[in-house]
Amino acid sequence: MTTYITRRLIQALVVLILISLMVFFAMRTLPGDPLMIYIVEQDISHITPELEAQLRHEFGLDKSLILQYFDWMWGLFRGDMGLSIHYRESVRTLMAERIPVTLHLGLLSFIISSVLGITAGMVAALRRGGALDNIVTSFSNFGISVPHFWLGILMIYALGLYLGWLPIQGYTSPFDDFWMSTKQLIMPVFVLATWAMAFVSRQARSSLLEVVRQDYVRTAWSKGLRERTVVLRHVLKNGLIPVVTVMGVQLSHIIGGSVIIENVFNIPGVGRLMVASVFGQDFQVVQTGILIAGVAVVVVNFFVDISYGWLDPRIRYH
């Protein structure tokens, strides 16, 4: 098991290094000059060569790309994420203000989609061909195919503008006003969790159907064991192993979807910050935000791999 964990750690480290290289150099290939964009935004009518050189030095744009990359990485190791060109603030401060908002939205969506998705998939598998199976299958097809932004706009119009049941935008901390925070997150969490829940329920149904057909499950039924005992001890234990492996994919989708959802519902999270920073070519914010998302996905996938190896010992030797 130690060798298995060590191998996964090395793979995770290599992936993070590749992510940092790709996002850093990809941002530098975009057309335009971030300093010129900043000057236009600040409405600086006249800029001297001395002032331009001073600003380039302040933002670290006067160095070679290789030096900029190593300066950025060294700063991350020291906890310094750099200075935002667009906001003229520390990137660490910007992230610290917005990460809790995105985490609140993402974790709620992840937990709800996992619990409901696995439950729906299990019910559909045990009631194959019945009404519940048809409902779960139809919802899965709908959830996987419908675009986030379309579903979000539809819910804003129906539940927010037409019926007036829910607020259509904004975010309130649950520590400030729990009820208002809950109402504001109902639509974003539902939209963000729809695809993930549909994906998990489909995977769970497929996996559990395969397990239900196994001889040892049929033997358990023939012994007269209660349905609850058969499901918990035999079906779920083996049927959920493939479902665990899709958790990383599920989290990746939630992180990517949060960028769209935060802009549709005007939520001040990392996703909304990233969109504004891309248009402003704010290198430090974009590359740091993508790297943080990459770290989150890699960490979750690492623990998924470890749990998969623990659930199925054969995996450790491959």
Tens-digit pLDDT profile for residues 226-276: 767 777 666 777 777 777 777 767 777 888 888 889 888 989 988 888 888
Q: How many CA atoms lie within 13 A of 110 on its CB side?
A: 21
How many other CB atoms sit within 10 Å of the CB of residue 209? 17
The strand pairing partners of 90, in sequence order, are 83
CA–CA–CA angle 243, 247, 253 (5° rounding): 130
Give Cα 112 to chain centroid, integer Å.
Answer: 14
Least confident of 12-21, 51-60, 198-207: 51-60
Q: pLDDT per residue over 262-313, tens digit each?
A: 888 989 988 888 888 887 778 888 888 888 888 888 888 777 777 766 666 5
CATH 3.50.50.60 fits 98-279, yes or no: no
Q: Say which DSSP state 175 is in.
A: T
124 neighbors 136 (Cβ within 8 angstroms)? yes
The pLDDT score that the predictor gives to residue 41 is 63
In the chain, where are the structural domains located? 98-279
Distances (CA, A) of 296 to 16, 106, 281, 309: 10, 12, 23, 20
Write down the pTM of the prediction.
0.79
